[in-house]
Every structure is written in structure tokens, then in C-alpha cells.
Amino acid sequence: MGKPTGFLEFHRELPANRTPSERVSDWEEIHVHVPTDTLKRQGARCMDCGTPYCHTGKLIGGMASGCPINNLIPDWNDLIFRGQWKEAAVRLHQTNNFPEFTGRVCPAPCEGSCTLGLNDDPVTIKSIECSIADHAFEEGWIVPDTPGTRTGKRVAVVGSGPAGLAAASQLNHAGHTVTVFERADRVGGLLMYGIPNMKLPKSMVERRVRLMANAGIRFVTGVEVGRDITAKSLLSDWDAVVLCCGAAQARDLAIEGRNLSGIHLAMEFLHANTKSLLDSSLADGAYISASGKSVVVIGGGDTGTDCVGTALRHRARNVTQLEILPKPPASRAPDNPWPQWPKVYKLDYGQEEAAALQGADPRAYSIQTKRFVGDESGQVREVHTIDIEWKKSPDGRMHIVELPGTERVFPAELVLLALGFVGPEKKGLVHELGLKLDERGNVVTDGEKMTSVAGVFAAGDMVRGQSLVVWAIHEGRKAARGVDRYLMYGQSYLP
């Protein structure tokens, strides 16, 4: 714990953000650094709660509760309160390979499970984590994790998102020789091309990848396993394989007018924007521009928010976001008790920016898209919708009821579909290896994260479905331990 009476003396203080009017004019990080004195006070708020749910990492009623990688949160809160930054960084890296990522992009289920949150505002765990990682880099405490000896075993990791990087890092730590294959031109997967720069600066991803490369991990980009390298050669050339290919199959919207120009999947929009930004600061024009357009984002969640924020930085004329779910309540509903993640109304960075520029939250709730309408040239011009109500069937399932007379038309010259993902791509590697899939289309693994093919492991979104970066890191670490046990005759010292 921090100070015994800290939670009574100090209020929750969130990191300051640059103003929306300032930050929409560039692609730099939206947050500013938190002063050390503020962090010390926030660490002091961590109370002696007996059973800290913040690091449990459980699913309760299908909802996240606590940190999936079991971060030692009370430990490093106390160390920050006492000014012991290096010790805090050591504790943080014991469970988290990439705290500089999670401290920025994780929605912090740990805070939703903070005991102080029962009758007060929770501890600012996320900002403390981020500050510890940043301070450790500034002080030069984070160095390549080069193993003292090598086992002689070779492992291929397919995919360089958070699960793949975590698996590679752990396996290299165990002394195995690791090669990571990435089909994109840059390493990082979702971290590089799925999350915009203002939310996670790409220099931070590149910095971590350089550290891993200097520790002995080999990265191969521009190579698609299953096309450029066959599954047969993968199995014959490596002692073990870890698949971390993500849930890259996006959910589409098969309605009238879907074939019109100007309608894109969210990841097409986000990926192209970041690549063009990194390649030429958008000078090459090789991205989907929202400049001067009426933009409609269909779907909520982090991806929808990122589309809103990106479109605003393109200088869109206006942005509207349509959500099929009802507007969340201002406080926890009876069916969403602590320590579950609180499903409550909030303005994320993209909506906050839209509200500042347009005068209101851009989201419309409980609304279903019926069709797209275009002009004579085949360009989308309108999104036609109807309001809905969610009702419970006799079997307890929720279903949609359309409300007559609530039809609406939204002007749209660019439509972005942020509807989530339906599992890994089935063509290519998954099909070639003949991997067993579950009823949702995800890859089936056992308790060691091995698939139905001996020596082939899988982790991340392609196993558990679309999820958080922190769950991907958890999966990658677990798969690495499974691989290590497989290669080292049932033994592993990896956590």
C-alpha cells in the first residue's frame, strides 16, 4: 500500500490532455507527462484493501475484472509513493513485457476493480504504470534482455502484434533462438497499424522492437507465412511455431448499397493513414482522406473512436458515430457490479474532440443502419437508419425491435465500418495447417496453448477472439511457457 491514510487525504487526479483544438492539428500524443509530486499522491491513494482485486485478471459474468497479466499493482504504487522508481520498474516488468504500450492503450480493467472504487474514485493505476515505464526508459534502465546461454532450439513466431512480441520476448529470455515473421512492412501488427499515432506513438513501438532485436530476436517483414513460406516448410524448419495472427477477419455490413464507393472497413482507413503518415507525413496521398467530407462511423469501441479522431485530424466537415447499443448509464447498473469493468457513459478522446469542434457528442445510440444511398456516379451520399429498442425474449436473449416512424437520413461522403472482428482469416495458414476451430471460428488450443497440430501453438485474438492488448500479452506469455515446456522436456522457468 501507499500512505495508510492517503485515500482519505488525496483526490483522484488524471493526467492532463492537450486541448482538443490543439491536438487535432497534429498526430502527436494527446497526453502530457504527469508531475512526480502528483504521481506520489496518486500512489499514496492505494489502500490496504486486504484482497486487491486490481491484479486478479478474471472474467466475472463475461466481464473483465482486474489485470489479465496480474501486474503487481499495490507493490509499485507503494514504491512510487516512496520515490523508489527503479524498484517500481523492476516489479512492473516482472509481469508486463510492454508497460509503455499498456499504460497508453489499455482501458484499465484494473481501475474498474480497484477496491477504492466501491465508494470513491479508483486509483489512477494506468497513468502510474505509464509514468514508471517512461521514466525507466529516460533513465536508461531498460536494456536488451540477452540470455546468457542458448538452448539450440529454434522457434518461429508468426505475427508481430502484442501477442507475438510477448511470446518472442519470453522465448528469447528462455534462451531459444526466435524469428518473428510479419507480413506488413513494419513490425508491430495492431500496435503499429491498428492504433493511431496520437494514442500510441510509433517511435515507442520501434524503440521496443530495436531492444528485442539487440537481444537476439530476428524480425522478418514483408513475408506472409502460408503464401511466401509454406506451412510444410514451417513445420520442417523449426522446432516449434507460435501463431499470433490476430482476428483479422473484419465484420462487414451486408446491406443495400454496400458496394458504393466511399464505404470502407475501419482497419483499411486506419492502416493506410498510419503507413502514409510514417512514410511521408501524408504527403504521398496514399490514404483514405476524410478532408472536407461528412463522415459516418458505424460502430463504437476503441476502433470507432480511433476513426473519429483520425477523421477530425483530416479536417472532416463533420463526423457522426452510430451505435447499435443503448447509451450507457452514468453509473453502474445493477447487473454490472464491482469488480466488473464498469459499463458507464464516458467521452473518449475522439468523442471529446468531436464535441469540442462540433458542439456535441457525435454518437447516436440505439440506431440500426438499413441501407446506403449513392449518387449517379456510385459514390455514397446518405446513410439511412431506424431507431431501435432492445427487448428480452422469453428465453432470456436480447433482440432488436425497430421503432416505426423513427427513420433518419445522415449525409455521408465517407462511411467507416468499425463493427469488430469475427476471428482469424481462414484462408492460407489456418487452412493449410488444418487447425481445429471452435464454434466461433477461433483456433482451438489446449492448456499449454498448443493447437491440434503438434508443435504448433497459438495465442492472442486468433484464439480468444477480438480483445484487449493486455489480454494479447497474457496469451503470448502463456504460449511461450507452453513452448518452453514442449522443447525442454516438460520444464519451464518462465512465469
- 36 shares a domain with 69: yes
Instruction: Please tell me the predicted confidence (pLDDT) of residue 3.
Output: 84
Tens-place pLDDT, residues 359-406: 999 999 999 999 999 999 999 999 999 999 999 888 888 999 999 999
- 216 shares a domain with 318: no
Helices then strands, each counted (H, E), the chain:
17, 16
Backbone φ and ψ of 319, nearest 5°: -130, 130
Name the DSSP class of 391: E
Please give the model's pTM, rounded to 2 decimal places: 0.96
- For residue 256, is it within any domain? no
- For residue 331, is it within any domain? yes
- Beta-strand (E) ranges in 236-362? 240-243, 263-265, 294-298, 318-322
Tens-place pLDDT, residues 468-480: 999 999 999 999 9
Contacts of 47 (CB under 8 A, 6+ apart): 1, 2, 6, 7, 115, 116
- 480 shares a domain with 458: yes
Number of domains in the chain: 3
Question: How far, in Å, CA of 310 to CA of 455, rounded?
Answer: 41
Task: Please name every residue paired with 392 in a beta bridge, in sequence order, or none if there are none.
Answer: 398
The mean pLDDT values, 10 residues at a time, for the chain of 495 residues are 86 94 97 94 91 89 90 95 97 97 96 94 96 98 97 98 98 98 97 98 98 98 93 93 95 97 98 98 98 97 96 98 97 93 95 97 98 98 98 90 98 98 90 95 97 97 95 97 97 95
- 465 shares a domain with 426: yes
- For residue 148, is it within any domain? no
- 166 shares a domain with 110: no
Q: Assign residue 356 the CATH number of its domain.
A: 3.50.50.60
- 358 shares a domain with 303: yes
- What's the domain range around 429? 154-249+422-487
